Chains A and B, each alone.
Chain A
Amino acid sequence: MRAPDNRKRRRGFGPAFFFCGMLMSSACAASDYQLFGRVDAQIVSEPEPIKATLADWGNGFDSGERQWAVSQLEAGVRWPSGLELSLFSRMMADLRMNREAVAFYGKISRKEPLEPGQVVPVDVRVNGYTGNGARLGFRHRQDTWSLTGGVSLFSAGHLMSGGLNGQFIALDDSDYDFNANVDYVYYRDVIFKRPNVDEARGLGWSLDLAGTWQPEDRVTVALGAEDLFAGIRWQDVPFTRATANTEQKTYDDSGFAVFKPLISGTEGYLNSYTQELDARYKASVELREQSLSLLVRGQYQFGYALAGLGLGYRTDSVEYRGVYWPGTDSLGLELSTGTWRLALAADHLDWPDTRAVALSVSYGRSRLPF
């Protein structure tokens, strides 16, 4: 039986009912205000396919240095004055690793021959949380441009922040040393399995800005920034600081060193902790020529920039877009009609091979999907 103070927190159906109610009411919307909403989700796993990382993290590592997952569910109302009020639920998980460590860890997980003498630094950073809150915004429109800004406050949970720094040293083709320092805060100790952890709660804030500009009829430029000056202030935060080493090692039947470092550390609760959230930026330039359009997209988040190039085709009621993202080798498809927009992107059609996937559904919003 799971201890009461260690039970998993799950979102209930309350926020969903609220969002659905807001959207349903749009069917009979009054003309003096406008409802809007969106569902955005993006998962990127460079070192290994998403399915593999969910099943057995790290076993398929070969290259890459980032894994992240971000999602947001938001619904709100916009008054004619441009004032916006919305409720949202969001989550973010950002794991960054240095590429050499990923490759080396993949080798030892698969028991591949190592390069004797190789020294591989290890730098792993993690940042994550979930939040439920409200956003107050304002949108101003002129003939050829619009500008939207907002401020959000939210209650946060599922804290995960910190890092691991150290190095691997290959002693021979099947043996290695490892030492590292771990310092992180968490809602659940995923590394050392600390039992009976009391989860911290936090209060978060963030700013967002978005704007569109149409310098001429054929050209549209859109910019957006989220989580500007964002952070979360946590109270009573579980933490662990530890060192890991392989001074005592065991070997499997083939003589390969088993990755089972000895760990020594301290765990407890911090009175408070401030988690800083990285800002995320998006940009788009679209050039139209009658029913066709040429797209250039860009985004920067979690310290990583992505650029995409695409084409669009517009009928009287529906606009289709396709965007290719070389950075993730993903192809995205967008469908827009009225104020609805649906977007889907992935790098593979086969789920076992998929390393990047994104979904966006929005209504009444002009923000860029991803």
Chain B
Amino acid sequence: MTLKKTALALAMASSVALVGCGGGGSSSDTNTGSSGTDGGSVSARSVSGSAVKGVMKYASVTAYELNDAGDRMGSVGTTETDGSGNYELTLDKAYKGGLIEIEVTATSKTRMICDAAACGNQGEEISLPSGFKLNAIATKAADSDKVSAPVTAWSTMAAKRAKALIAAGSTAAEASRQATAEVNDLAGFDVSKTTARAVTDLSGASAEEQQAAVMNAAVAALVFASGDAADNLEKFASALDDGQAGNDGDSFTVAELSEATTEAANSTSGLDSDAKSALSTKTGEYDANPDGYQPTYDAELDVAEDATQADKINAFKTFVSQARTWATSIENLNGDELEAAMGAKADTFNNVLGGNVNSLQMSLMIAGQALNDALVDPAALQTAMANGDTVTVPVLDAGVEVGSMKLAFSDNAGLVIGISGQVTGQAAVMNFDLALNTNIPTSALDLNAGSVSALTKSTQMVLSGTFDDGQGTTLAKLNDVTLKLELSDAVSNANGVSTTEFNQVFVGASAKGSVELAAASGESFNGTIDAGLIRLTGPALAGQPDVPVSFDHLKVTGEFANSDGTVFRSSAALNVNNSAAFDTFGWNDYSEAGIYTSGPIDANYWSGLFQIPGEAIAPAANLEAYKVAPGEFTGQGSAVWYEADSQPKYNSRNLDVAERETLANDLRDSLLATLPAQLTLQYYDPQSATSQQLQVNTSDLLGQGVVDSYNISNDGTVSVTVALSSNPVPVGDFADVLGLNSSIGENGNIYMRQLDTETPVPVLDLWLVESQKVDPLAAILQNLVVGLTDAKVTQYYSDNVWDSHSISISRNAEKSYFDECVADPMDQLHKLGRDITVVPNSNRALRSCADATLSWMESPWVDLSPEQLSSLVDSARTILTDRYGQAGQKATINNLYASSWSGAPTLSIFGQFPDLETANNFIDASFTVTSAVNIPELPEAKVVATVARNTFAGGKVLATVNWSSGQYSLEVGTKNVDSLSEVTARFFNPQGYELTMAAIFDQAGDLQGLSGDALLNGEDIGDVTLRNGMPVITYPNGSTTEFETLF
């Protein structure tokens, strides 16, 4: 099979593979060397970590001690990173115990392992420009002689921000803490503690380490994109100097940071669902702050390095109190308040995304059809391109024509198609004017096979244009929506790239770009879409798809406007974390879906069930089976066939316009010739209560009338109805006469009906005696069945109101007529008014001819035996298993229908697929929604919520609320959503405060157990317990214990 529509469908949603260059730092516990202190005591003190912006090998590392003003007092140690980017530095005697700034500088022998597309190929070692350096400010804990200091671009940003804060008046220690907290907020992980790992080596990494690796890689896309990397790094690290990153004057926008993060995450393998959820949440936060991300910092929660336990406890109590306020504020909102708080109306989402996203889909569909049409008839394409012609083709929606479009083709380093036209949707007309620019070489279009003969590694199509409602209102505007098809290698085949060849190199596909959508009801959306497909490497859930592809992600980000003009910003992202391993499309299409399919069945499926005469023609059997209980079926069957029993056989044939007009005139003329020249009509005059007579010329009476019907009854009587033209007879004096009767003697009777509601024109009814009067008319009608041996027209019926015009054909059921039909089915069936599309010698021709010429017979219905039922079910199971694999094997069969009526014996199957997920193979996905909320207690709040399903029956919800003066995150998880017996929860903020809880509930939902910890910068300062059903945090503090109820 050559590649045509499959590739095109994929090409409509291509993926961008962006490789990030990043890394992180790692700490070393090794305690080597010793140095004296100025106080005279001797202890071994060292600084360790790793330098990662991409792993920096053999870079120079220097530690400086800072004074309270943040100035370097001098070097307190130097060393060099090893081949893994790690370093360990012994502080020398000059160190006095203050803050330490570590600086990692690239030298001529320094090599960075690139893991971003922006800096080269993954794993490639590159040299770094002069001046490329990373920094970190670290603190030596009072009870430790070691300093852990990952040195990354993010730590460099923190160091720069700290110096900016010092310049603004903070002490060095305060500034360092605040800067670290702010960068933690911006980056989404603890930049001062999280071990930095290379994004290409995440084996055994924690979720936070994975997140850090991706965020470091994201920086690469910004730093190595263009220009001098050292200068770019310097600008990146300075972005937060003013307390806000990605705003005016910075080297990157928040949108660029979001995109870089998304792409780094999408291109990094080995991320677990926790890391992916956290990254999705973080990008959601970026999306909510397009004009600049301002990290929050709560000075009230600041805890100095030398803080006492009481200080820490008090600070943590403040954290708990704030979190309690936060939770209560949200908990107290009812539905209306919540909607008001979000500033969003449900209708806006529905109308904008539910309505006009269809026009977005429609535009992709139209573009796909345009491209398909171009490839299906490449010769016409070539001609059109050469002549500058346009081609008009229908727009099809599910096979139904919904409009037309003009295609204009050109070659501009690839196929370019201008697409304009109109579609009529369910309720409205939409005009479209689109341009599809591709990099598909026109030479790759096979003129003979109508297929693609070559595809590059990255096939790209850019779709732009508008949809409008025909009245000047733009419903959808696509701004360079880029569709990419990613292959592992270019592929070509002079005979057309086959599906097999394509499958071997298929990597993924994606669609990305900005769109503007407007609903007729006034709502609008202006933002970006990003959708991606990925190669399916895991097993298909139901049968083998043509192309192994799985859904990977979909993201919509932008600004929504309500119909009242109020605006809110929101984003939604759906990410499948195991998209390559899990067959998402198979799951979507088949899991718990209904089955209607059919397949071949043994021709002996009804053997012995029925007694059929030997002369039977075209015998067939219909067997039906129904499930009455799991695994238990009942059913019946019946045989049908045809016989040449010489009984009358009627067929009906519709007449076309020309036939019926000719026929009507001929019949009228014949009737005029048959009837007397004058007719005496009798009528009853109610005024005089006497019978009256009226002489009428027959020609006047019939005038230009049309014979509407002709029928020969069994006794030979012919009845004819003639529809008259207006005022054919002088009946004006008899306007109140209901009818006129005329005996036409032995010719029969005639009756004229006047206009009434049922007869819009005057009608003549004539009853003629066939032996004397029918012959002329019969001869005319008989001309319609010339070629049908012995056939006779027994009825003609014409109804202009219903536009129904047909004749009835009669002859006996004889084998010779059947044979005559089989010999020329197209002609014979046409004359008999049957399906004329049959193929000669086909089962359909045979059965149509039998049905048109012979008598239909049916046996009595019989009950099917258990063995026959079992045989049917087994056959169905075989068909399902062959077609759908394990899904078919486990599918529920509800009804079966076996028949050979249409030719080869076929078994139709109705049933349902099971839930195709298992505990070991389920869709691991997260859904992130971002929105601003208006809550008085939380000014300028923005909420990002991620729902992640990472276990078969459970998952997590991560909600982050960021407002003008604080940020809190709540993560709640359970292993089983249906039975919430165990729930874990985590409150945390970027300043190192974290409250973890594990709750156990009984079946009634009552809290039975609670445990957890109060963590401050990783230090366990308290425990969460349950006291008599009351959640309590206890904080040991010397000989006493502080405690507080949680809520």
A65 → chain B closest CB, angstroms: 26
Asked, given contacts A195-B1025, A248-B324, A248-B1047, whether A266 binds B1041 with beta carbons under 8 Å apart, the answer is yes
A204 → chain B closest CB, angstroms: 26
Whole-angstrom distance between the alpha carbons of A269 and B1041 in the complex?
10
A273 → chain B closest CB, angstroms: 15
Whole-angstrom distance between the alpha carbons of A264 and B1035 in the complex?
11
25 example contacts (A-B, Cβ-Cβ < 8 A) are as follows A192-B1030, A192-B1032, A192-B1043, A193-B1027, A193-B1028, A193-B1030, A194-B1027, A194-B1043, A195-B1025, A242-B1043, A248-B324, A261-B1045, A262-B1044, A262-B1045, A262-B1047, A263-B1043, A263-B1045, A264-B1042, A264-B1044, A266-B1040, A266-B1041, A266-B1042, A267-B1040, A268-B1040, A268-B1041
Contact B1043–A268 (Cβ < 8 Å): no
A2 → chain B closest CB, angstroms: 14
Whole-angstrom distance between the alpha carbons of A248 and B1037 in the complex?
26
Whole-angstrom distance between the alpha carbons of A4 and B1044 in the complex?
26
B957 → chain A closest CB, angstroms: 22
Chain A residues with a Cβ closer than 8 Å to the other chain, count? 15
Asked, given contacts A193-B1028, A194-B1027, A195-B1025, whether A267 binds B1041 with beta carbons under 8 Å apart, the answer is yes
Residue of A nearest to B1026 (CB): A193
Contacting B at CB under 8 A, from A188-232, are 192-195
Across-interface contacts of B1037 in A (CB, < 8 A):
266
Contact A192–B328 (Cβ < 8 Å): no
Across-interface contacts of A267 in B (CB, < 8 A):
1040-1041, 1043
**A265 within 8 Å of B by Cβ?**
yes
Residue of B nearest to A263 (CB): B1045
B963 → chain A closest CB, angstroms: 19
Q: What are the 5 tightest A-B residue pairs by CB atom distance, in nearest-first order?
A: A268-B1040, A193-B1027, A193-B1028, A264-B1044, A263-B1045
Across-interface contacts of A195 in B (CB, < 8 A):
1025, 1027
**B1003 within 8 Å of A by Cβ?**
no
B117 → chain A closest CB, angstroms: 51
**B792 within 8 Å of A by Cβ?**
no
- Please tell me which one of the listed residues B1028, B1030, B1039 contacts residue A269 in the complex, with CB atoms under 8 A apart: B1039
Per-residue interface assignment for chain B, residues 123 to 152, with 1 indicating a CB less than 8 Å from any chain A CB and 0 otherwise: 000000000000000000000000000000
**B317 within 8 Å of A by Cβ?**
yes
B319 → chain A closest CB, angstroms: 13
A123 → chain B closest CB, angstroms: 23
B1022 → chain A closest CB, angstroms: 12
A265 → chain B closest CB, angstroms: 6
Contacting B at CB under 8 A, from A238-252, are 242, 248
Contacting A at CB under 8 A, from B1000-1047, are 1025, 1027-1028, 1030, 1032, 1037, 1039-1045, 1047
Contact B1043–A264 (Cβ < 8 Å): yes
Per-residue interface assignment for chain A, residues 167 to 202, with 1 indicating a CB less than 8 Å from any chain B CB and 0 otherwise: 000000000000000000000000011110000000
Whole-angstrom distance between the alpha carbons of A246 and B1047 in the complex?
10
Q: Determine which residue in A248, A267, A268 has the highest number of CB atoms from chain B within 10 A of its CB, and name it.
A: A248
Contact B1039–A264 (Cβ < 8 Å): no
Residue of B nearest to A241 (CB): B1040
Residues of A within 8 A of B (CB): 192-195, 242, 248, 261-269
Across-interface contacts of A194 in B (CB, < 8 A):
1027, 1043
A244 → chain B closest CB, angstroms: 9
Whole-angstrom distance between the alpha carbons of A264 and B1043 in the complex?
6
Whole-angstrom distance between the alpha carbons of A242 and B1044 in the complex?
9
Residues of B within 8 A of A (CB): 317, 324-325, 328, 1025, 1027-1028, 1030, 1032, 1037, 1039-1045, 1047
Across-interface contacts of B1027 in A (CB, < 8 A):
192-195
Whole-angstrom distance between the alpha carbons of A265 and B1040 in the complex?
10
Whole-angstrom distance between the alpha carbons of A265 and B1043 in the complex?
5
Whole-angstrom distance between the alpha carbons of A262 and B1033 in the complex?
12
A245 → chain B closest CB, angstroms: 10
Whole-angstrom distance between the alpha carbons of A261 and B328 in the complex?
14
A238 → chain B closest CB, angstroms: 11
B968 → chain A closest CB, angstroms: 15
Asked, given contacts A195-B1025, A195-B1027, whether A268 binds B1039 with beta carbons under 8 Å apart, the answer is yes
- Please tell me which one of the listed residues A192, A193, A265, A269 contacts residue B1042 in the complex, with CB atoms under 8 A apart: A265
Whole-angstrom distance between the alpha carbons of A265 and B1030 in the complex?
15
Contact A264–B1045 (Cβ < 8 Å): yes
Residue of B nearest to A192 (CB): B1027
Residue of A nearest to B1040 (CB): A268
Whole-angstrom distance between the alpha carbons of A266 and B1047 in the complex?
17
A253 → chain B closest CB, angstroms: 14
Across-interface contacts of B1040 in A (CB, < 8 A):
266-268
Across-interface contacts of A242 in B (CB, < 8 A):
1043
Whole-angstrom distance between the alpha carbons of A265 and B1028 in the complex?
17
A sample of 19 more A-B contacts (CB under 8 A), given A195-B1027, A266-B1041, A267-B1043, is: A192-B1027, A192-B1030, A192-B1032, A193-B1027, A193-B1030, A248-B324, A248-B328, A261-B1045, A262-B324, A262-B1045, A262-B1047, A263-B1044, A264-B1045, A265-B1043, A266-B1037, A266-B1042, A267-B1040, A268-B1039, A269-B1039
A248 → chain B closest CB, angstroms: 5
A164 → chain B closest CB, angstroms: 16
Residue of B nearest to A195 (CB): B1027
Across-interface contacts of A261 in B (CB, < 8 A):
1045
Whole-angstrom distance between the alpha carbons of A266 and B1042 in the complex?
4
Whole-angstrom distance between the alpha carbons of A264 and B316 in the complex?
12
A54 → chain B closest CB, angstroms: 18
Across-interface contacts of B1028 in A (CB, < 8 A):
193
Asked, given contacts A193-B1028, A248-B324, whether A264 binds B1041 with beta carbons under 8 Å apart, the answer is no
Whole-angstrom distance between the alpha carbons of A148 and B524 in the complex?
98
Across-interface contacts of A269 in B (CB, < 8 A):
1039
Whole-angstrom distance between the alpha carbons of A193 and B1032 in the complex?
10
Across-interface contacts of B1032 in A (CB, < 8 A):
192
Across-interface contacts of A264 in B (CB, < 8 A):
317, 1042-1045
Q: Determine which residue in B325, B1027, B1043 has the highest number of CB atoms from chain A within 10 A of its CB, and name it.
A: B1043
Whole-angstrom distance between the alpha carbons of A193 and B1028 in the complex?
6
Whole-angstrom distance between the alpha carbons of A269 and B1042 in the complex?
12
Across-interface contacts of B1041 in A (CB, < 8 A):
266-268
Across-interface contacts of A266 in B (CB, < 8 A):
1037, 1040-1043
Whole-angstrom distance between the alpha carbons of A264 and B328 in the complex?
18
Across-interface contacts of B325 in A (CB, < 8 A):
248
Across-interface contacts of A268 in B (CB, < 8 A):
1039-1041
Residue of B nearest to A265 (CB): B1043
Whole-angstrom distance between the alpha carbons of A266 and B1040 in the complex?
7
B669 → chain A closest CB, angstroms: 90
Residue of A nearest to B1044 (CB): A264
B318 → chain A closest CB, angstroms: 11
Residue of B nearest to A268 (CB): B1040
A251 → chain B closest CB, angstroms: 9
Across-interface contacts of A248 in B (CB, < 8 A):
324-325, 328, 1047
Across-interface contacts of A265 in B (CB, < 8 A):
1042-1044
Whole-angstrom distance between the alpha carbons of A221 and B328 in the complex?
66
Whole-angstrom distance between the alpha carbons of A269 and B1038 in the complex?
11
Whole-angstrom distance between the alpha carbons of A268 and B1034 in the complex?
12
Whole-angstrom distance between the alpha carbons of A235 and B9 in the complex?
83
Across-interface contacts of B1039 in A (CB, < 8 A):
268-269
B1030 → chain A closest CB, angstroms: 7
Residue of A nearest to B1042 (CB): A266
A240 → chain B closest CB, angstroms: 8
Whole-angstrom distance between the alpha carbons of A264 and B1042 in the complex?
8
Residue of A nearest to B1033 (CB): A264
Across-interface contacts of B1045 in A (CB, < 8 A):
261-264
Whole-angstrom distance between the alpha carbons of A152 and B1039 in the complex?
35
Residue of B nearest to A240 (CB): B1043
Whole-angstrom distance between the alpha carbons of A192 and B1029 in the complex?
11
Whole-angstrom distance between the alpha carbons of A194 and B1044 in the complex?
11
Whole-angstrom distance between the alpha carbons of A266 and B1041 in the complex?
6
B1032 → chain A closest CB, angstroms: 8
Whole-angstrom distance between the alpha carbons of A193 and B1025 in the complex?
11
